[in-house]
Amino acid sequence: MNRLHIVHRFCRGIASAAPKTSTGIEHADALAKAGGRKADWKLYKVGDYLKMNQYSFYDGEVTLAKHRLQQPTNKKPDVLPQVKPVLRLPLGTLMRSRCGVEADLKISILSLPAIEMDSVVNAATIQSLSSLSEEDAVQKLVSLNAQLGTQSKFEDIDRSAREELVKLVEKLESKPALFAPVLELIRILARDKALLDVLLTEPVRNFIIRASGLSSTPSVVLKDVIEADKCLVNTLFNSSQMRQSFEAEAVDLLLERISAFTRADYSGRYEWINEIPEESRNAVWLFDLRIAFLTSAHSSGIQSKWGSSATALTTFIDIMRQYTATAAEVLCLEPDEASRRLADYTDRAGEAAKVLFNITYKRPNDIDEKLVNEITEVVAALIKAKPPSPVMEQHAVNLLATLKLNISMLCPKMKTIDGRTEQFDLYDMSFAQALLDALERKLDDNNNSDSDLLSTYFGSLLKLCTASKEARRYCRLKILPPLVAADVVRRPDEGETLRNKVIRVMMSPVFSKDLASEFMFVLCKRSVNRLIKYTGLGHSAGLLANAGLLGHINAPKSASDSEDSETDEYRSVEDRINPVTGCIRPEPTGPSPLDGMSEEQKEYEAMKLVNAMNKLMKTGVVKPGTVGPDGRPKEVSHVLELLKDVPDEEPHSDSD
C-alpha cells in the first residue's frame, strides 16, 4: 500500500516537471523537437531574456516570422498620401515586436502572394525603351509596373533583363522624366532577393541614393524623392550591398534631414522642403524614419554611432515628445477627429521609438544619464496616458525594457498622501499601476501573432520590482493578494484575475512564459513554498527546474511564507489543497479500487505497476527522473530509484 501510494504520487510529481503542455518547460522541449535535438533546459534560462543584448526588433522578428500568422495591415508605407494611382499594392507586415519585441513594429515590405504569369519584362523590352521618346518610354514603364505590381517573386525575369535595366539607368541622366517610373520598377523587383545583386550595381545604388536627396549631389524632384525613399525601404531590407553603400554615403545626411524635419528648419540644402505640400512633407519624413529604423536594425556601426550621439538621441526623443504634446491637445476633441489629427504623429513617434530601441538596447549603461532620463520621462508619459494608445503603449514598453531605470522618476517619494494617486508607503505607484493595467490589456487582447510581445511587459515589470521593494510589494498586493478559500476552489490558471492570466502565460508555449514565471517568483520574494502556494507545483516546475530549485520543494516553511499570503479562511482548507495543481482535491466520486483488497493483493498490484513502468523505461517510451544534487531533474536508471529515499510508513519492531 505504501509503495503503491509513493510510486503513484512521485510519478505525478515527475510528470508535472516533465516538458509537457501543462508544465513550465514544454517550450524548451517543443523547440528542441522542431530542431531535431534533445531538450536542453540550460538554453532557456530566464536571465538570457533580461539581457536584451541579442535582439533588436528586426533580429527578433526575423527569428519568429516563420512561426507567426501574417496579420492584415492598413499601413502602406510606400504609398503617397496625396496620390491615388490606379494600382494599390497591399503590403505585408514584417515586424510585429518582440522582444521583441515591438510595439506594433511595422516595417512594411511588399510581400504578396506569387501569381503565375508569363514574363512581361525581358532584355528586348528594356532595350526598346532607349529607342522610344521620353513620353512613350514613361507610358510603357507605367504599364510594365502595373503588370508587375501584383507579384512578389520574379524568377521569370532573367539576368540579361536585369543587366539591360542597369544599362538603362546608366543612360538616364538626360531623361529625368524616367526617374520615377524606373525607381518604381526597381522597387518592385527588389521585393525578391533572387538576382537582386545583379540589378543593384554601384551605379544603380548611387542613382537611388541621389534621387532620394541623400547625397552630396542630390536630385530634389519631389516625386523622385518619394519614389526613391520607397525604393530604399525594399532595397535596404533585401540587399547587403545597398546597406553598405547607404551607410557609407547617406546615413549622416539621413539623420540631418530627419533633424531638419523635427526642428522645422528648412534652410540651406533643405529649402526645397518649404515648397512642397504638408502632406508630402509628412510622407518624406515618415519614409526617412522607416529607413532610419531599417539601417539601425541591420548595422551595429549605426547603432553605436547614433547611440553615442546626443543629436541623434535628442532628435528621436523630440519626435516622441511631439506626439505626447499633440495627444494632450486633442483630448477635448471628438475621438474620430482626435485620431485623424494624431495619425501622422503616431506613425512618426512609433518609428522613432523603434529606432531608439535599436540604438540603446545593446548599450544602456553607456548612454548619458540626462538623455536616459528624457527617454524615461517620455516613456512614462506614454504608459500613463489616458485614454491609452495600444500602439504607442507597446512601443513605450519595448523601449522601457532597454533602459536603466531611474526609480526616483518612476516611483517618486511623496510628501503627503494624495487620495487621487496610487501610492504605497508614501511612494507614488501611478506608473506601476499603469504598467500593470497595460499588461492586463495586453493579456486580454493577446493573440497568436504577437504573444511573444508580452516579454517586454514582464521584463519591464521585473526590472521595476527588482529595483524597488515598494513597487514589488505594491505589485504583489495587486497580483498576489492574501489567499482565501475561494481562490483555491479551482486551478490557479482558471479565472479572470491578473494572477490567473499570468499563470496561463506560464503554461503557454511562448518565449514570454519564462519571464512570467520569473516575475511571479520575484513577487513571491523568491520563496519556493510561496510560489507553489500561488501557482501550483505543476505550473512552476519549469522555472524551478531551470533555476535548480526543485530540491527546495520540501523545505520547511518559514514564517514569511505565510505573511501577507493567506487568511484564516485559507488555512481552514489548506490541508485539502493538492500542491501540484494548486487547488482543493476533488471529492472521490466512487469507491476506491483498492477497497476489499488484502495487503498482499495491494503489494502485488504495486509491483505490477513498478514492472510496467520499468518496461516503459527500457523501451524509451518514458524516462522518469528524480531531483539531482544540483536541484535539477536527473534521469534514473531504474524505477526503484524513485523509492530508495522513501522512509517506511511505520518503524520496524521486533515486538510483533
User: Average pLDDT of 569-576?
Assistant: 86
For the stretch 318-333, pLDDT in tens is 999 999 999 999 988 8
Query: HEC states along 333-360?
Result: CCHHHHHHHHHHHHHHHHHHHHHHHHHH
Task: Report CA Rg, the chain.
Answer: 31
Q: Residue 411 and residue 511: Cα distance in Å, rounded? A: 28
User: Average pLDDT of 541-556?
Assistant: 75
Residue 428's DSSP bridge partners are 423
Residue 28 has pLDDT above 80, yes or no: no
User: Average pLDDT of 304-331?
Assistant: 95
639 contact partners, CB below 8 Å, separation of at least 6: 7, 610, 613, 614, 617, 624
Average pLDDT, the chain: 79
Read off φ and ψ for residue 323, nearest 5 degrees. Answer: -65, -50
The runs of H, that is alpha helices, within 508-637 are 512-523, 528-535, 537-547, 559-562, 568-571, 599-618
Q: Residue 115 and residue 324: Cα distance in Å, rounded? A: 43
What number of H helices and E strands is found in the chain?
A: 30, 8
Residue 110: pLDDT band by 50, 70, 90 thresholds? Answer: very low
Query: HEC states along 119-167?
Result: CCCCHHHHHHHHHCCHHHHHHHHHHHHHHHCCCCCCCCCCHHHHHHHHH
Taking residue 131's Cβ as centre, other Cβ atoms within 10 Å add up to 8
Task: Return the top range by mean pLDDT from 21-30, 38-47, 154-163, 440-449.
Answer: 154-163
Residue 13 has pLDDT above 60, yes or no: no
Share of the chain above pLDDT 90, in %: 49
Confidence (pTM)? 0.76
pLDDT at 539: 85
C-alpha closest to that of 525 among 493, 561, 499, 553: 561
Residue 11 has pLDDT above 80, yes or no: no
User: Average pLDDT of 290-315?
Assistant: 94
Cis peptide before 647 (omega within 30 of 0): no
Q: Residue 387 and residue 379: Cα distance in Å, rounded? A: 15
Q: Are 582 and 488 in contact (CB under 8 A)?
A: yes
Q: Please give the residue that has the higher pLDDT: either 10 or 421.
A: 421
Provide the 8-state DSSP code for 563. Answer: T
Q: How far is CA 132 from CA 99, 125, 136, 608, in A?
A: 52, 11, 6, 90
Q: Are 142 and 185 in contact (CB under 8 A)?
A: no
pLDDT at 584: 87
Query: Which secondary-structure segment (H or E) carries 627?
Result: strand 625-627
For the stretch 357-407, pLDDT in tens is 999 988 888 889 999 999 999 999 999 998 899 999 999 999 998 888 899
pLDDT at 644: 67
pLDDT at 640: 72
**Looking at this protein, which amino acid is placed at residue 520?**
M
pLDDT at 206: 95
Share of the chain above pLDDT 70, in %: 76
Q: Are 70 and 35 in contact (CB under 8 A)?
A: no
For the stretch 487-511, pLDDT in tens is 889 999 999 999 999 999 988 877 7
Residue 165 has pLDDT above 60, yes or no: yes
User: Average pLDDT of 600-625?
Assistant: 86
pLDDT at 322: 97
Three-state DSSP at 491 gives: coil
Q: Give residue limits of the domains in the chain.
A: 453-584
Query: Using CA of residue 459, residue 464, residue 465, residue 466, what is the dihedral sign?
Result: positive
**The length of the chain, given as a count of residues:** 656
C-alpha closest to that of 34 among 57, 70, 58, 63: 63
Task: Return the top range by mean pLDDT from 240-249, 336-345, 412-421, 539-548.
Answer: 240-249
Q: Are 195 and 159 in contact (CB under 8 A)?
A: yes
Read off φ and ψ for residue 421, nearest 5 degrees. Answer: -115, 135
pLDDT at 23: 31
* Phi-psi group of 548: left, alpha or beta (phi > 0 → left; psi -120 to 50 → alpha; rest → beta): left
Q: Any idea which of 22-31, 103-112, 414-423, 457-466 has the lowest mean pLDDT?
A: 103-112
For the stretch 584-607, pLDDT in tens is 888 777 788 888 889 999 999 999
Three-state DSSP at 282 gives: helix
Residue 652 has pLDDT above 70, yes or no: no
Q: Residue 282 and residue 261: Cα distance in Å, rounded? A: 9
519 contact partners, CB below 8 Å, separation of at least 6: 458, 461, 462, 465, 502
pLDDT at 42: 36
**Looking at this protein, which amino acid is placed at residue 635?**
E
Q: Residue 384 and residue 446: Cα distance in Å, rounded? A: 20
C-alpha closest to that of 599 among 1, 7, 5: 1
Q: CA angle at residue 141 from 136 to 142, to 5 degrees?
A: 100
Residue 627: pLDDT band by 50, 70, 90 thresholds? Answer: confident
Q: Are 251 and 302 in contact (CB under 8 A)?
A: yes
Q: Residue holding cell 515628445?
A: 321
User: Average pLDDT of 622-628?
Assistant: 78
Residue 57 has pLDDT above 50, yes or no: no
